[in-house]
Structure 1
Amino acid sequence: MTTKEKKLADNIYLILAALFIASLVASNLIFQKFFYWEPFGIYRFEVSVGILPYPITFLITDILSEIYGKKKANQVVIAGIFASFFSIIIVLISDFAPAIENSPINDKIFHQVFGLSPLAVFASMLAYLFAQFIDIRIFHFWKNLTNGKHLWLRNNFSTFASQFLDTFIVVFLLCSFHILPWTLFKGLLISGFLFKVIVALLDTPLLYLAVYLFRKRFNLKAGEEILH
C-alpha cells in the first residue's frame, strides 16, 4: 500500500470511528422517548428512540472488522466506552448547575430529560461491552471458519447474537434500576430484539457495498484486511 493510500485508509477509519462514537453517545442521551412502529399492521414494535442510531454502531464495527481487522475494531469500541463515560460526567455537571430564572429550560425539565441518563448509560455500557466484543469475536470466528467467504453469514450471525445479549442486558438493568417497570420487560425485549434483527438484515446490502468499495479502492482480495 502506498503512502497516499495509507493516509486515505487512516482518514476513512477516523470518520467511521467518529460516526460510531456519535451514534453511541446519541443513543444514550435520547433513550427516554419511546415510539411505536407497526409495519403493514403485522406487529407493533414499541422501542426507545435510542435504538435508532445504535444499529449503526454494529454496522460500523462489522465494516472495520472486515476491512481493518479485529484489533482496529476493538480500538473503536474502547474509544466509545471512554466517550460515553465522559458524556455522563458532562450530563451530571449540567444537571447540578442551577438554571437562571429566564432559562428556556428549567432545572425540573432538564432533570426529567437527562437526569436518568447516567444510570441508563451505565446499563447501556455494560451491555455494550459484552455485545460489541462478542459481535467482533463471532464475526472473526465465522470469517476464519469460512476463509473470508460468505460475508452475509458472519455479519448476521454475529449481529443476531450480540443484539439479543445487548437488548436483554439493557432492558433487564433499566427495570432493575426502576427506570422502567417490570411489566414492560418482555414486550421491550421482544420488540427491541426483533427490530434490531430486521435492521441487521436491511443493512447487509450496505455492508456488501462498503466492503466492495474498500476492496476496489485498496485492491483487497476477499477476506484480506488493510495492514497497519
Structure 2
Amino acid sequence: MPPSSTANTAQTLTGGRVYRYYDFVMAAFVTVLLCSNLIGAAKAAQVTLPVLGPVTFGAGVLFFPVSYIFGDVLTEVYGYGRDRRAVWAGFAALAFATFMSLVVLRMPVAPFMADYQKSLEDVFGNTWRIAMGSLIAFCCGSFANSYVLAKMKLWTGGRWLWTRTIGSTLAGELVDSSLFYVIAFYGIWPLEKVVQVAIAQYVLKTGWEVVMTPVTYKVVAFLKAAEHEDWFDRGTDFTPFRVRV
C-alpha cells in the first residue's frame, strides 16, 4: 500500500479525511439507480441480433449497469466502507420513491384526470413489486460486487484492474439478475419469459462492463490522482449491516 493510502486510511477512519469527488460519485450512483429501476425496469424491449435472433431484455439494461460501474469505482478508489454507504443511500432513495409512488397513486383523483390516472396505474401499478425486487436484488448484488472487487484487489496487489471490475460484475450481476426478475415479475410475465429476460439481462449487463472498461480505467485513474487515494481493504469489516465507514 502506498504511504499516502496508509495515511488516508487512518484519517478517514478518524473522520478527518474529506474527499473532493466522493459526494458527486455517490449522487450519480443514486440517480442512475433510481432512474433505471423506476423508468426502465417495467418495460421489456426486444431486438433482433445476428445468429441469436430476437432477444428480449429489460429496457433498464441500457443504464442500470452504470450503477455497477460506479460501485466498482467507489470500492476501487474509496474502499468497501464508502461504497457500502452509497449502497445504503441508494436503498433509502429507492424505498422513498416506492413509498411516494404508492401514496400518489392512491390519492383521490380529480375527475378531469381520470384517464391520466389509469395511465399512471398501468405504468406504476406494480411499482411495489419492482421496487421490492430492486431493493433486495440491488443490495445483495451490490454488496457481492463490492466484496469481490475489494478481495480481488488484495489478491492481485492492486494490479490488473480489469480482472476485478469484470470479475466482481460477473458475481454481482449474477446475484442481481437471479433475484430481481423472479421477485418483480413472477406471475405477471410467463415463467419462460422471466427466465429468458433474466439471462439476457445478465449477459448484456456483464457485456456492458467489458465494453466500458476503458472508461472505468480513465475515471479510476482521474479520481486516484485527484483524491490522492488508492484504498486497500485490509482489516475492513465487510458486514453490509452498517453505514459508518
Residue 82 of structure 1: aligned partner? 92
Residue 157 of structure 1: aligned partner? 167
Identify which range, 47-56 or 136-145, moves more after superposition: 47-56
Identify which range, 41-50 or 187-196, moves more after superposition: 41-50
- Write the distance in 2 (CA, Å) between the matches of 1:13 and 1:26: 20
Deviation, 1:126, is 0.9
Residue 24 of structure 1: aligned partner? 33
Residue among 97, 117, 128 paired with 2:138: 128
CA deviations on 1:51-79 (whole Å, 9 max, x unpaired) are 22211110001101111111100000011
Task: Tell me: CA distance 1:105–1:81, structure 2 relative to 1, closer, same or farther (3 Å).
Answer: farther
CA deviations on 1:120-163 (whole Å, 9 max, x unpaired) are 11011111111000100000110000111110001000001110
- Write the distance in 2 (CA, Å) between the matches of 1:174 and 1:215: 38
CA RMSD of aligned residues (A): 2.2
Equivalent residue letter for 2:170: F
| Identical positions, percent | 22
* Alignment of 1:69 onto 2:98: no
Equivalent residue letter for 1:17: M
Q: Per chain length, whose mean CA-contact separation is higher, i.e. which structure has more relative contact order (CA < 8 Å, sep 6+)?
A: 2
Equivalent residue letter for 1:37: V
Residue 214 of structure 1: aligned partner? 223
TM-score by length of 2: 0.82
Deviation, 1:86, is 0.4
- Write the distance in 1 (CA, Å) between the matches of 2:43 and 2:188: 12
- Write the distance in 1 (CA, Å) between the matches of 2:184 and 2:190: 8
- Write the distance in 2 (CA, Å) between the matches of 1:18 and 1:94: 25
Residue 112 of structure 1: aligned partner? 122
| SS class of match (2:158) | coil
- Write the distance in 1 (CA, Å) between the matches of 2:221 and 2:74: 13
| SS class of match (2:46) | strand
| SS class of match (1:102) | helix
* Alignment of 1:102 onto 2:112: yes
CA deviations on 1:81-134 (whole Å, 9 max, x unpaired) are 111110011000110012222338622111111110111110111111110001
Which runs of 5 or more residues in structure 2 are unaligned? Answer: 9-16, 234-244
Deviation, 1:220, is 4.8
Q: Is the 2:76–2:220 contact (alpha carbons within 8 Å) kept by the matching residues of 1?
A: yes
- Write the distance in 1 (CA, Å) between the matches of 2:115 and 2:145: 39
Deviation, 1:219, is 4.3
Deviation, 1:167, is 0.7
Residue among 191, 201, 205 paired with 2:214: 205
- Write the distance in 1 (CA, Å) between the matches of 2:142 and 2:220: 20
* Alignment of 1:13 onto 2:37: no
Q: Is the 1:171–1:189 contact (alpha carbons within 8 Å) kept by the matching residues of 2?
A: yes
- Write the distance in 1 (CA, Å) between the matches of 2:224 and 2:46: 39
Equivalent residue letter for 1:203: M
